[in-house]
Amino acid sequence: MTSQASGRVIRIDAALEALVSSDAEVEKLAGGFGFTEGPIWTRQGTLVFSDIPRNTMYQWTPNGEVSVYRQPSGFDGDGAPPGALIGSNGLTLDAEGRIVVCEHGNRRVTRLEHDGAVTVLADRWGGKRLNSPNDAVHKSDGSLYFTDPPYGLLQQDRDPAKELDFNGLFRLVDGKLQLLHAALTRPNGLAFTPDEKYLYVANSDRERRIWMRFEVNDDGSLGEGEVFLDVTAFPAPGAPDGMKLDRAGNLFCTGPGGILVITPDAHHLGTIQLPEQPANLHWGDLDARTLYITARTGLYRVRTNTTGIRP
């Protein structure tokens, strides 16, 4: 598909220009999907992303081709109820370039090995099945942090299949799963600061649209946490979801109205608007200065003036 202009950049503060130009072109690269999520730029120079309701991972190449990368991607059983978000969601890379997958329908986190095998990394806590792992990020020591809201369950918190009585934030290290936080109603996207001293976590509850910031202790556990930014009162639709940081610590967060560009001191510089509500994003291209964005039925990109953090 030939790319086309689609969207615009809204500048609130002139400082935005150092990060993304107000006249930057937002391009639509592909469309016709169900609900896109979890984009990841691979070591092979391609973009892999999830289509949750279609239970498929797709691959986009710089020549514009889109192909099925993995199917099924998040549920390999039978009898999924209509309308269920059963496919893969968030994706990330480990130090060896292997894709780690949050699988909604299978309610687990897996790793795709180079030989095609699938390794289950986490599927239970305290003997109970996880809800539906949503998004994940590695720390430089190899430990994996991930969120576990109930979006993959048809009735969410009220679903009879839900075994945990909370929606957690977890850490996986040396094969052991640790519960870090259980107070957020809808933990979602997450990202470390460049120095890994803090972890940001989005809460996508429309009644409490916030980003939390947790201090990361030396042992990998988290401090009590504080509200970094509260956008509950924003008039635009959409809730905090996926996020990425640049090397200076600025945040590019999907949220109300598009992708909010936020400084480390919580100052909102502007918003990248798209024709569809974005769910997640990732730094792509060789220089990690292009944001690739999954937004409902489409895949988009925008060139920035800053360099992002990526696996």
Q: Which residues pair with 18 in a beta bridge?
A: none
Residue 309 within a domain: no
Q: Is residue 226's pLDDT more than 80?
A: yes
Confirm whether 207 is domain-assigned.
yes
Q: Is residue 148 part of a domain?
A: yes
195 contacts: CB under 8 Å, gap ≥ 6 = none
According to DSSP, the β-strands at 176-181 and 187-192 are unpaired
pLDDT confidence band for 5 (50 / 70 / 90): low
Specify if 253 maps to a domain.
yes
Residues 155-182 have pLDDT tens digits of 999 999 999 999 999 999 999 999 999 9
- As for how many domains the chain has, the answer is 1
Does any domain span residue 100? yes
pLDDT band at 1 (very low <50, low <70, confident <90, very high): very low
Q: Which two tokens stand for residue 250?
A: 């600025």
Amino acid (one-letter) located at 266: A
Dump pLDDT digits (tens) for 194-204.
Answer: 999 999 999 99
Q: Which domain holds residue 245?
A: 4-303
For the domain that residue 200 is a member of, what is the CATH number? 2.120.10.30
Q: How confident is the model at residue 250 (pLDDT cuts 50, 70, 90)?
A: very high
| Phi, psi (degrees; rounded to nearest 5) at 14 | -60, -20
Q: Is there a domain that residue 41 lies in?
A: yes
Distance separating alpha carbons of residues 148 and 136, to the nearest angstrom: 10
Looking at the chain, the whole-number percentage of residues with pLDDT higher than 70 is: 98
Q: What is the pTM of this model?
A: 0.96
